Amino acid sequence: MGRKRMVKSMAIVAGCSFVVGVLVLALLSLTAKRPAHLGVHDGRLAPCPDSPNCVCTQTNDEAHRLEPLRYTGSGERAMERLQPILAAQPRARTVTQTENYLHIEYTSLIFRFVDDVEFLVEDSAKTIHFRSASRAGRSDFGVNRRRMEAIRRAFDASN
């Protein structure tokens, strides 16, 4: 009887720990606000923070760096190629769109975490720079990097 009680107690503690963990993640998601530093400043996107949940084409830090998208033709046509790729992605919402800049919010399915993804067309270099970063937490388990690599593959294939 003592062993059954101990197993039951351990199961209750584990269940409560799980529920608390879920509640903490949900609260973290709900309290994360859109960063004020997003957008283009002096021709550049914001740098990545020290956390591993960000990738950017305008950094020299190898832990965060990815190569920009390359295109031929006009920047306008490159954005026209990019937009249907982004529109096909689940839980993506366009926040800001100009001639050479695009800000999309991606929301995770379960905990509703938001990632901010920005694109900046540099037509003189035939390049689209991007930055993809999680708003909350420290690790994203590589989600931002995988998303941007998938977008690159789709963009390259659309040529």
Q: What is the CATH number of the domain that holds 128?
A: 3.30.310.80
Q: Are 65 and 24 within one domain?
A: no
Q: Collapsing DSSP states into helix, strand and coil, what is residue 16?
A: helix
Q: Are 55 and 95 within one domain?
A: yes
Range of the domain at 14: 1-31
CA-CA distance, 140 to 136, in Å (whole number)?
9
The count of domains in the chain is 2
CA-CA distance, 61 to 89, in Å (whole number)?
28
Give yes or no for a contact between 95 and 104, defined as CB atoms under 8 angstroms apart.
Answer: yes
Note if the pTM is more than 0.85.
no
So what's the pLDDT on residue 36?
80
Q: Are 21 and 58 within one domain?
A: no
Name the packing angle between helices 143-157 and 75-87 (round to 10°). Answer: 120
Q: Are 85 and 18 within one domain?
A: no
Give yes or no for a contact between 134 and 145, defined as CB atoms under 8 angstroms apart.
Answer: no
**pLDDT, tens digit (0-9, with 9 covering 90-100), for 24-79:** 444 444 455 677 889 999 999 999 999 999 999 999 999 999 999 999 999 999 99
Q: Are 94 and 140 within one domain?
A: yes
Q: Are 25 and 43 within one domain?
A: no
Q: Are 129 and 115 within one domain?
A: yes
**pLDDT, tens digit (0-9, with 9 covering 90-100), for 11-28:** 676 654 554 444 444 444
Q: Are 101 and 123 within one domain?
A: yes
Per-residue b or e along 41-56, where b marks 16 or more CB atoms closer than 10 Å to that residue's CB: eeeebbebeeebbbbb
DSSP for 50-95 reads: SSSSEEESS---TTTB-PPEE-SS-HHHHHHHHHHHHHTSTTEEEE
Q: Are 19 and 84 within one domain?
A: no
Q: What is the mean pLDDT of the chain?
A: 87
